[in-house]
Amino acid sequence: MSSIERVENYEAKKLGICLARTKKEIKDYRKKKKLDEGWSNRKSDEMFIKEVKDEIRQSIISSINQRGLIEYSVEKVGDELHVTGEIKVYIKKSEYAGSYR
């Protein structure tokens, strides 16, 4: 990730997803973990949030892969094999982009 550059006069846009869980789902999860693992409600809530975060991460990664936004290149250098992955990021070009240099 060392080749990421800052682009002047642009700001990052966040793109993501939101997964909602009902009160019943949370309550059922707490009950199951209390019976199966002996966890407190606090511990159950922490692990529930971790699992939902993992699910969101996987959804985002799948979405990036499905849209073909990651490009890979493979190059043999001597006895080594160098595999590079780059994510494509699209930013809107400004008509004034070159005039600030």
Asked if the structure places residue 20 within a domain, the reply is yes
Residue 2 domain-assigned (yes or no): no
Q: Is 63 a member of any domain?
A: yes
Tell me, yes or no, whether 41 lies in a domain. Answer: yes
- Number of domains making up the chain: 1
**Are 70 and 87 a contacting pair, CB within 8 Å?**
yes
Q: What local confidence, expressed as pLDDT, does residue 18 receive?
A: 87
N-terminal to C-terminal alpha carbon distance within the chain: 25
**Full domain range(s) for residue 22:** 10-87
Q: What is the pLDDT of residue 100?
A: 46
What is the amino acid identity at position 55? Answer: E
Domain membership flag for residue 42: yes
Domain membership flag for residue 79: yes
Q: Give every residue of the chain whose pLDDT is below 70, as ranges.
A: 1-15, 91-101
